């Protein structure tokens, strides 16, 4: 498994990309997932790019942003094209977005058709840049449960459509994580891994709380200290060198938590990998 860290983890800290890269390399990470706003700001520093990152032994698996799905088609395509340009600069094969901003049960047929059309348009732009669009499994979107997510993939029906499988949010939606992973595997290109103390604490991942500098962090836990048992999923994917994932940490003690989680993840992947398979690194 290729494992990355996310620059969004450093959203409230004065930590440079060079410092993040040094930390990532020293702690066994394979890449750095760039938050869209960070990618846009780094465009002003041309010497920092895919070639520079490769000298650090790292790559960018995905540039994660929030593209509109309810605006004029030309605007959607223009914003998607700009995001793709940033992804190309960093050698990232994926751009990430969400499937709307309302849950599948709250969206009527007409609104759903509009979101599907916008996602298909973004896929076309991504394909033209040699990329794929990864839609994230996430509450309050059309990818909030297995049934709607699979239906969405079939509705968009584009070769550049992919999924970013956020295991915690799949669990939050009420589906068995392994069963959902198997059902969605044809579209899964990346994974987000994080955990929470209890279902009652899932509100800590609401965007308004996550992005607030003074937001609540209590309830966010290290990867293997929360309510979601990752063992079954790791058994499912261990030994597969094509699997890519990011440790998505929004709490305090960023460096310490990510370093510990990476070390424990490596150990658990090695233990879970089938005999003779490539061990998770």
Phi/psi of residue 33, each to 5°? -80, 125
Element (H or E) spanning 90, and its range?
A: none
Of 146, 132, 140, the residue nearest 115 (C-alpha):
140
How far is the CA of 157 from the CAs of 66, 78, 119, 151, 162, in angstroms? 21, 21, 10, 10, 10
CA distance 281 to 277: 12
CA distance 187 to 165: 9
Q: Which residues are catalytic?
A: 138
Is the separation of the CB atoms in 236 and 178 below 8 Å? yes
Q: Which residue has the tokens 């990532």?
A: 24
CA distance 185 to 159: 14
Q: What share of the chain is helix, strand, coil (3-state, %, to 5)?
A: 45, 15, 40
CA distance 55 to 37: 23
CA distance 134 to 166: 11
């Amino acid at each position: 498994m290729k494992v990355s860290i996310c620059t969004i983890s450093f959203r409230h800290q004065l930590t440079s990309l060079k410092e993040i890269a040094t930390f990532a390399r020293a702690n066994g990470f394979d890449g750095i997932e760039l938050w869209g706003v960070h990618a846009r700001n780094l465009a002003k520093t041309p010497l920092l790019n895919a070639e520079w990152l490769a000298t650090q032994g790292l790559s960018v698996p995905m540039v994660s942003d929030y593209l509109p799905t309810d605006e004029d088609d030309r605007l959607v395509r223009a914003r998607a094209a700009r995001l793709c340009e940033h992804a190309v600069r960093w050698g990232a094969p994926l751009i990430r977005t969400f499937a709307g901003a309302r849950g599948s049960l709250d969206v009527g047929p007409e609104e759903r058709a509009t979101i599907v059309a916008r996602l298909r348009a973004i896929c076309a732009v991504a394909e033209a840049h040699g990329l794929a669009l990864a839609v994230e499994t996430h509450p309050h979107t059309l990818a909030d449960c297995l049934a709607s997510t699979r239906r969405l993939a079939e509705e968009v029906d584009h070769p550049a459509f992919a999924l970013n499988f956020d295991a915690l949010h799949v669990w939050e939606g009420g589906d068995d994580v392994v069963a959902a992973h198997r059902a969605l595997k044809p579209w899964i290109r990346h994974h987000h891994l994080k955990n929470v103390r209890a279902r009652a604490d899932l509100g800590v991942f609401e965007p308004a709380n996550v992005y607030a500098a003074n937001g609540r962090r209590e309830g966010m836990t290290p990867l293997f200290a929360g309510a979601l048992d990752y063992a079954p999923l790791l058994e499912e994917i261990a030994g597969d060198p094509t699997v890519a994932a990011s440790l998505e940490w929004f709490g305090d003690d960023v460096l310490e938590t990510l370093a510990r989680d990476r070390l424990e993840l490596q150990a658990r992947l090695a233990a879970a990998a089938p005999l003779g398979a490539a061990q998770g690194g």
